[in-house]
Amino acid sequence: MLPDQHDILWTFLSILFTVFSLTVFVIIVQYCRERDDVDGKKWGGIFGVFLIANFLCTKHMFTLVQGDQLIFIWWQVLVVFVQLLVWGIFCKSDKIESQSPPLIRAVFFWVVIGLLLAGYTNWLPQQRSDPPPKGGAAISADLTMEEFADMGRVIVFGAKQVAGQKSIGKGQCPLCHTFEPGNNIGRCPNLFGVEERSHTRIKEERYLNLPVKIGEKEPATGVVKGKRDGVDPAYQRGGSDDLNGEDYLRESLMCPSCYVVTGFGKEGDTKSPMPVISKPPISLNPVELNAVIAWLQSKDTPGEFSKVTVPLPSAEDSAPKAADSGEEEERPVFVTGEEDIPTMINTLGCPLCHTIPGVEGAVGELGPKLHEKTNAPLRIKDSRYEGKATNTKEYVRESILCPGCYIVMNEAEGELFPDGVMPPDFANKLSVKAIDKLVDFIANTEAPPAG
Ligand code: HEC
Ligand code: HEC
């Protein structure tokens, strides 16, 4: 996985190439001045073009992240290679004696070394060595509630939370939810104040009866609604059978359709588009799930943990994966295109929102079903369509890189899908190769045959 940043090596190589072109250009001009029989305009022009091409390559290099730089440097190497060939032609056609000044030989040498180096680092597994995440504190006898809730925060946001930036951890919650007062991005409830709500929700008439009644099994997850022991035993809390706020939060995570917040569900608010957090692809284990609840219960009262009701894990509890997946959370999401399709798609989180034929477990409901072989041509023909795509692949690419360019109609609900829910920054998470591969796959998705 490559970080979302430049690599000084590639930028430096690129600058060297431009400096080289400039030197060659100067040498050519000198030759032409010294000898009348050489067509100075022609050769000066040709090598001038190489100089400009190299300069533009270098300029472009500064705008790329490492993953793309690795690919782009090859184009510039090609330019330099052609330039060296033309140099050969120049010497031959004008019968220039000292064919290869030391500089040219040196650059030949460096281009070869550069190519070998590029090949080598491309082949090496890409790694970064960052300090271990602070929030991933190991479970020990002296773990405090503050540390446990912080573990939950890391599961939600990842270890590197930067103010003002959307960071997403293993739990993937910020993909859909917001947490600050007043920040409502669309289809998913703002989780500010959810601790308070957790106590009143369970008294609502809607909670008692809709979409299933208390004591009934919710069909999709098998969770018995409104019962402390209605969930998988590994995730149950101990203590009294009286329903409390913690039960509501746990149920929200393990059985989203047990209670669907008004206005945020499908099929008349009877079905939740939220994924079951204890199941794949997110798969939080019981300790991780409790850590998230501890964070939800304490996040609105910084430094104050009296509202937290989940117990601290005991040393025997299976450690939250934060300890071993911590390293994973450290790295920004990035796919190189070497991964297989399901790995790429799961890493990017598409299945949380989309149902994607051919990808196991991709049954997300927040966005349209990806049947792009049939959908894309219809979108392009739509009178509302103002994008630039003229065929299916272009449409899919545009949808991924610019989700707001066209907002899909949700036929079932008779309204547009919410804008601003699909993350607009996939361009930073995909190498050129990865986006090509992803587009090829998504462009061929079709509804499974009926029946
Ligand atoms: C794919 C989008 C998505 C993801 C990812 C997601 N949620 Fe949700 N969540 C929703 C939607 C939509 C609702 C509203 C419908 C419902 O009640 O289930 C919701 C509802 C909730 C509620 C109930 C809110 C209330 O006011 O009663 C809680 C709590 C919650 N989510 C917590 C989380 C946490 C914690 C995570 C991460 C571990 C998470 N969600 C991940 C979409 C998502
Ligand atoms: C947080 C939820 C979310 C995630 C994650 C997400 N999408 Fe979307 N996507 C949506 C929503 C909502 C729409 C419909 C609104 C729109 O058109 O922008 C959409 C629309 C699309 C469309 C247009 C579909 C059509 O039929 O016209 C494509 C293609 C698409 N997404 C692909 C992807 C891919 C590929 C990924 C992963 C790299 C992804 N999405 C991740 C929510 C999401």
Q: What is the pTM of this model?
A: 0.66
Q: What does the pLDDT read at residue 415?
A: 87
Check if 171 has its Cβ closer than 6 Å to any atom of ligand 1: yes
Mean pLDDT by runs of 10 across the 451 residues of the chain is 63 88 86 79 88 91 79 85 84 68 74 72 49 51 88 87 69 87 77 93 90 89 90 88 92 94 86 89 90 95 92 72 45 83 91 91 89 95 93 96 93 84 88 94 90 58
The CA–CA distances, whole Å, from 149 to 166, 220, 248, 302, 306 equal 20, 29, 18, 11, 12
Q: Which amino acid is at 250?
A: R
Q: Cα 163 vs. chain centroid, distance in angstroms?
A: 18
Mutate-to-test residue for ligand 1 from 155, 170, 187, 188, highest number of ligand atoms within 8 A of CB: 188
User: From CA 440, how far away is CA 49, in angstroms rounded?
Assistant: 35
Q: What does the pLDDT read at residue 210?
A: 83
Q: Cα 254 vs. chain centroid, distance in angstroms?
A: 24
The CA–CA distances, whole Å, from 336 to 316, 339, 347, 432 equal 38, 7, 11, 8
DSSP conformation class of 111: H
Instruction: Indicate which atom in ligand 2 lies nearest the CA of residue 395.
Output: 29
Segment (H or E) for 290 = helix 286-298
Residue 442's closest CA among 376, 382, 361, 379? 376
Mutate-to-test residue for ligand 2 from 399, 410, 445, highest number of ligand atoms within 8 A of CB: 399
Q: Which ligand is nearest to the CA of 429?
A: 2
Q: What does the pLDDT read at residue 259?
A: 94
Q: What does the pLDDT read at residue 164?
A: 54
- Cα 364-369-370 angle, rounded to 5 deg: 110
Between the CA of 423 and the centroid of ligand 1 the distance, in Å, is 16
DSSP of 214-242, one letter per residue? TTSBPTTT-PBTT-TTSS-GGG---S-SS
Q: What does the pLDDT read at residue 126?
A: 44
Between the CA of 423 and the centroid of ligand 2 the distance, in Å, is 8
**Sequence-ordered list of residues with C-beta below 8 angstroms from that of 80, at least 6 positions apart, any chain:** 17, 20, 21, 54, 107, 111
